[in-house]
Every structure is written in C-alpha cells, then in structure tokens.
Amino acid sequence: MSDALIVLKNIGKRYTRGKQQVRIFDHLDMAIPRQDFVAMMGPSGSGKTTLLNLLGGIDKPSEGEIAFEGKRMDDLSEGKLAAFRAANVGFVFQFYNLMPMLTAAQNVELPLLLTKLGPKARRERVQTALTIVNLADRARHKPSELSGGQQQRVAIARAIVSDPKLLLCDEPTGDLDRETADEILGMLQTLNRDLGKTIVMVTHDPEAARFAKRTLHLDKGHFVEKDLNA
Amino acid sequence: MSRTLTQIMAVTSMNLRSIPQRIWTSLSTVIAIGFVTGVLLAFLALANGFAATVSGTGSPDVAVILRKGGDELSSVLTREQTLLMQEAPGIAKSADGKPLMSPELYVVIDGIKKSSQTKANLPLRGLGTLADQVRKGVRISSGRMFRTGTNELVVGRSVSKQFEGFEVGKQIRLASQNWTVVGEFEANGSVFESELWADVAVLQGLYQRGSTVQSVRARLQSPDSLQKVKDFAEADPRIKLDVKSEQAFYAAQSKGMSDVIQYLGWPLAIAMSFGALAGALNTMYASVDARMREIATLRALGFGGLPAFVGTMAESLLLSVVGGLLGALGVYLFFDGLSAATLGGNFTQVVFSMKLSGDLVLQGVILALVIGFVGGFFPAWRAARVPILAAFRAG
C-alpha cells in the first residue's frame, strides 16, 4: 500500500434525514494506487458520489480515516481542506459546471487564481491545458457558444490546469452522446496514461467503465471488484 | 493576501457580470431603493431650500429692533422709542446726516394661491422713507417703486409668481380701499420676495395704528456696531427693546421649520426603507440561489467563503448605489428649483425653491448603501457559509 495515493480505513458515513439516520457506508476500506484509473459503478443511492466527495475532501466521514499521500485529511479544517482541494484535486462534473459569463480560458484559469502564479504564467498554463484538450482555438468562446462535448473538454482543462495528482469525475459523459462520450473518455485515458493522473470516475455506463483500468462495484456499502475487459 | 484579493476580484466580477441574467429582480430593487432615496431627498431639498431662503435673507449689518420678547407680528414700538433709537451710536447715517432707519409695520393680508386656489396669508410691510438705503440688494425688476403718501405698493417676485392678482398694474382691495401694484422687486431670492411693500405712514392710517410701528430696521456702520446699539437700548429705561442682527433674526426663524421638514423626511424615508430592504433581501437571496451551483463549484475548486461573501455584497451595494443615484437624479430633474410655499415665521407664506446639494445627495446615497449593506449581508453570509454539498443540491 506504500504507493497508494489515497487510503480509506474503516470509513463509516451516515446522514440524518428528518428523524432518521441513513447509513451509507460501514467499515469501508479502500486504497487507490498512484496513476490508477478506477471506474465506480453501482445502483443509484449506493454511495458512489458520496465516496467521490469523501475522496475530494468536500465531505467528511462519520468514522474512519482518509489519508492522501500518507497524510490524514479527514480531520482538516474547512480552510485547509479548501487548500488541499486546490493543490491536489481536479473535478469534472456531469453538467460541466462552467461559469456562463466567463470565456473558456477564464474558466480554465479559475483554479490558478488560488496559486501564486502571475498573470503571464497563468496565461501560459491555460493555453497548455486548452491545447491538451484540443480547444486552443476556442479560448475566447463562452460556454453557451460551445457544444456539450467542448464544454466538458473545457471542464477537463480546468481540472488539469493546476496539475493536480487526482482527477475526480462524476458521470463525466452522462450528458453526452456516445461518440462525444468516447472522445472524452479517450482524453481521460490519455491523461492517465501519458500524464500519470490518478482518476476516479463515477459512472452508470458500462461502456464508459471499459476505458478505466479497473471497475469497482459499490453495493450496499461494500465493493465488489469486476474486470469488465476479461 | 494578493491571492485572496485576486479571488475576490474574480468572484466579484463574475457576480456583477451575471446581473443581466437577473435583470428584472435587480431592476425592481434599484427602483425601490431609488424611490426611498428620492422621497428622502425631496424632503431634505425642501428643508434646504427653505433654510437657504430664510437664513439667506438677513444681512449682518442691519439691526432689527423689536419689543422685548416679541416677534414682528406682535411687537409694538411707540413713536418715542423710535425717536430715541435714532440717537443710538453705531447706526449709519445718510448723506444728509439722517440715521439710516426704517420704522416698519407688518400686517397680514389674504392672497389666493394660483396652484391650489386656496387662501393663504401674505405679509404686507410698511416701509420708512429711508428703507431703500437700509436694505441693500433689492432691485425693482418691473414697474417702479411706490410713492410715499399714496395707495401704491410693490410686490416681491415670488408673490406675483405664486399668487393671483398681484401683477404690475393690477388693483387690489385692502381694508376697503383700492391699491395699485406699481412694481415688482427682487431681493436675491430672500424671504422679502414673499412680501408686499407700501408706505408705512399710509398703512398706519389704514390699519389705525396711530404713530406706532412694529419694528425698526437700522443700517449699522459695521456688523460690530450691533453691540453699541444693543447697549444703548438696554441702558435707557425708556427704550428697553430687543436688538438683533437681521441675519440672526432670520436664522432663528428658519431653523424651526427646516427642522420640522427634516424630522418628517427622515422617519418617512426610514419607514419606507424597510420595504426597499425587503426587496433588496429578496433580490440578493434570489441572486445567491441562482448562483448556487457556481458558488458550490468555486468552493469545490478551493475558493474560500470570503470571495463569495464580498462578491455578493458588492452586487448588493452596486444595485443600491445605482438606485440611490437614480433617486437623486429624479429629484434633481423633477424637483430641484421647483417653487414651494409654506408657513414661515409670523404665520405668513414663505415662497422658496427646493434645493438639492451635493451634501444632500451624499446623505441619500448613504441611506441607499445602508439598505444595500443590510440587504446584501445575510444573503452574502449564506453564500459564504453554505456547505458545498448543500449548495450542489440547491444548484
């Protein structure tokens, strides 16, 4: 486990809904090695997105420990968690979550505003990220002027622009047609293979899961590992 | 620190640029705040205009001499007192050595307002023969000055503008006699422009005042000479009169009424502010709700709560400033310089112009900013503190 990027130990997660407590996980253990590309599947309500939120530090477990590169992150304050996310995690959402009033380049630049980089260095990074996702020529376009696939590519550029180790993708192709979805998934595969990004992707789509190195099935708070390529 | 500033600027810019997406709710808030500011400024412009007219009336080198404790309407000075005051040191002299004094009568007559066709009191002042040398800054703008010993009168510019039947050449009835308006005068926009002037001796006869007058105006050698005249009036037991500078006399008159107008204006504006505040809160909560997914996304990327807070506050303050300035612009366009009339001292009408000033606009904008601040604070707090997952669910 020494090369694991993230390790979850004995994780429990409960929500209070009205007067009822809803238990999502109990004693969940998990390790994600560096440069892994994991697809997480499971029925609705099985806790896939909750797990993704725990990995990304936007939610905290009710019990257990989460360590990122050997350092605990589940006990960090909100401010330190925000800094952790800015430095280590890139998010790709199903509905892209781009800022409609900003251009593609301005959207991609957002995570860099949290770094010490100056305007020139930021511009160069944005240009590089947009080139990686083949959208350098759309830098000045606003999201409304881009197709769904192009918007998701901008979102991927935003996720990788600050060079985080971990990419968390929540149904990244859920809103796209098959051809565009494959294009996006191919891009994630390239980021994993060529740039060494560790990727955790939540999906309902078995075809999407085939692009990952492995698939974890989450059911009733436990993992079942399946090799879809076998 | 600079990174925080960069984040704040980025989020603020996003908020402001997204206002067009919420144009109608934003506009309703701007209008509500503009309306409140406009009402306040209209009142303050009234008070300001009144104060400027009345307090600007008096001259520091003219003394007003009245019975002790009396105002111009209730004061009575005997002929003996008037003659004794002619000996007072510090009073300027005419070219032929006469003291520059004007014994004056002050009576109230009826006028009909052109705007409302209602009756209102107008002051008719009887002037001594040297009055034109006592009062400076008075100019006959049309017609001529009245002749002594005749039933002629001149009217202030505001009187002929606001009241019926006082145009030059018109005849009016006073105490069962016909009088002719022979001229109209200007007095630098002062309260005198709300008066009618005639010969004091004719009015004494007409109103059966014998040889008494109600006040004496005296031109001082200099403003510092006032004390000499006061001391003289105090020292002689036969005189015992109040001596004030004309400036102080009108400043005291103006304060009461302009205070009343101000004290009406502020509470009304504050009461209306609660309505505008509800609008501002509604708009800003709607703004935060509309941006909830953006707020959540930024927070997920690592942005702190402070930029979300400042961005929301900036939007609210911008809307309120725009509203405040629009309110001020409305008052400037529709009310500034507009003639109004109200009861001044001595239960007579004072005609004045509403007067908006930079200082008043500042007061209005400050009120608007207070509405914007309170209206933005709670939604901004929500934007800053909402848990990311809750924000994603709401968005």
**pLDDT classification of B218: cutoffs 50, 70, 90:** very high
Is the separation of the CB atoms in B187 and B137 below 8 Å? Answer: yes
Query: What does the DSSP assignment read for B253-315?
Result: HHHHHHHHHHHHHHHHHHHHHHHHHHHHHHHHHHHHHHTHHHHHHHHHHT--HHHHHHHHHHH
Q: What's the order of all strands across the beta sheet hosting A20-33?
A: A20-33, A4-17, A63-68, A71-72
Is the separation of the CB atoms in A12 and A61 below 8 Å? Answer: yes
pLDDT of residue B249: 84
**Helices (H) and strands (E) in chain B — how many of each?**
12, 12
Of B17, B21, B301, the CB nearest to A111: B301
The gap from C-alpha B313 to its chain's centroid, in whole angstroms, comes to 34
Report d(CA A72, CA A64) in Å as an integer.
10
User: Given CB atoms, is A117 within the 8 Å cutoff of chain B?
Assistant: no
Does A230 have pLDDT greater than 50? no
Query: DSSP 3-state assignment of B126?
Result: strand
Of B17, B300, B304, the CB nearest to A79: B304
According to DSSP, the residues that pair with A202 across neighbouring strands are: A40, A170
Query: DSSP 3-state assignment of B165?
Result: coil
- What is the distance in angstroms between the Cα of B373 and the nearest Cα belonging to chain A? 25
Is the separation of the CB atoms in B77 and B86 below 8 Å? Answer: no
- What is the distance in angstroms between the Cα of A152 and the nearest Cα belonging to chain B? 14
Structure tokens at B134: 């006592």
User: Given CB atoms, is A58 within the 8 Å cutoff of chain B?
Assistant: yes
pLDDT of residue B55: 64
Interface mutation vs chain B, best among A101, A116, A123, most B CBs within 10 Å:
A101
Does B308 have pLDDT greater than 90? no
Does B349 have pLDDT greater than 90? no
Is the separation of the CB atoms in B211 and B204 below 8 Å? Answer: yes
Mean pLDDT value across residues B85-91: 91
Which range (A57-61, B38-42, B344-348) has the least confidence? B344-348
Interface contact B302-A101, CB threshold 8 A? no
CATH of A35-64+78-226, one of 3.40.50.300, 1.10.357.10, 1.10.287.610, 3.40.50.720: 3.40.50.300
Q: In 3D, which of A140, A131, A56, A40 has the Cα closest to residue A90?
A: A56
Interface contact B302-A85, CB threshold 8 A? yes
Which range (A22-31, A82-91, A106-115, B283-292) has the least confidence? B283-292
Pairing type for strands B62-67 and B241-245 reads antiparallel
pLDDT of residue A56: 94
- What is the distance in angstroms between the Cα of B302 and the nearest Cα belonging to chain A? 4
- What is the distance in angstroms between the Cα of A227 and the nearest Cα belonging to chain B? 31
Q: In 3D, which of B97, B95, B193 has the Cα closest to residue B139?
A: B193
- What is the distance in angstroms between the Cα of A120 and the nearest Cα belonging to chain B? 14
CA geometry: angle A22, A28, A33, nearest 5 deg: 135
Of B21, B296, B301, the CB nearest to A110: B301
Does B105 have pLDDT greater than 70? yes
| The dihedral formed by the CA atoms of B384, B385, B390 and B391, expressed in degrees to the nearest 10 | 0
Interface contact A97-B293, CB threshold 8 A? yes
Structure tokens at B23: 């144009």
CA dihedral sign, ordered B298, A52, A38, A31: positive
Closest CA in chain B for residue A87: B302
Interface contact A58-B300, CB threshold 8 A? yes
**pLDDT classification of A46: cutoffs 50, 70, 90:** confident
More confident residue, B310 or B137: B310
Which range (A183-187, B35-39, B183-187) has the least confidence? B35-39
**What is the average pLDDT value for chain B, to the nearest integer?**
87
pLDDT of residue B180: 95
Chain A contact set for B298 (CB, 8 A): 110
Does B338 have pLDDT greater than 90? no
Interface mutation vs chain A, best among B301, B310, B389, most A CBs within 10 Å:
B301
Structure tokens at A58: 């936007």
Does B298 have pLDDT greater than 80? yes
Q: Which secondary-structure segment (H or E) carries A51? A: helix A48-56
Interface contact A113-B298, CB threshold 8 A? no
Closest CA in chain A for residue B305: A79
Q: Which secondary-structure segment (H or E) carries B390? A: helix B388-394
CA distances from B375 to B88, B131, B370 (A): 64, 58, 8
Report d(CA B355, CA A110) in Å as an integer.
49
Provide the percentage of residues in chain B whose pLDDT is more than 70.
94
- What is the distance in angstroms between the Cα of B7 and the nearest Cα belonging to chain A? 6
Q: In 3D, which of A130, A127, A165 has the Cα closest to residue A35?
A: A165
User: Given CB atoms, is A67 within the 8 Å cutoff of chain B?
Assistant: no
Is the separation of the CB atoms in B218 and B99 below 8 Å? Answer: yes
pLDDT of residue B341: 63
> Mind listing the pLDDT tens digit for each residue in A103-117?
999 999 999 998 889
The gap from C-alpha A191 to its chain's centroid, in whole angstroms, comes to 12
Mean pLDDT value across residues A141-168: 95
Structure tokens at B158: 């505001």
pLDDT of residue B346: 54
Structure tokens at A41: 């599947």
Closest CA in chain B for residue A115: B3
Of B18, B21, B302, the CB nearest to A114: B302
Interface contact A113-B293, CB threshold 8 A? no
Interface contact A91-B301, CB threshold 8 A? yes
pLDDT of residue A124: 96
Mean pLDDT value across residues A155-161: 95
Burial A172-206 (b: 16+ CB within 10 A, else e): bbebbeeebbbbbbebbeebbeeeebbbbbbbebe
pLDDT of residue B156: 94
pLDDT of residue A1: 43
Does B45 have pLDDT greater than 70? yes
Q: What is the distance in angstroms between the CA of the first residue and the CA of the last residue of chain A? A: 25
Interface contact A110-B10, CB threshold 8 A? yes
Mean pLDDT value across residues B371-376: 91
Structure tokens at B317: 């303050």
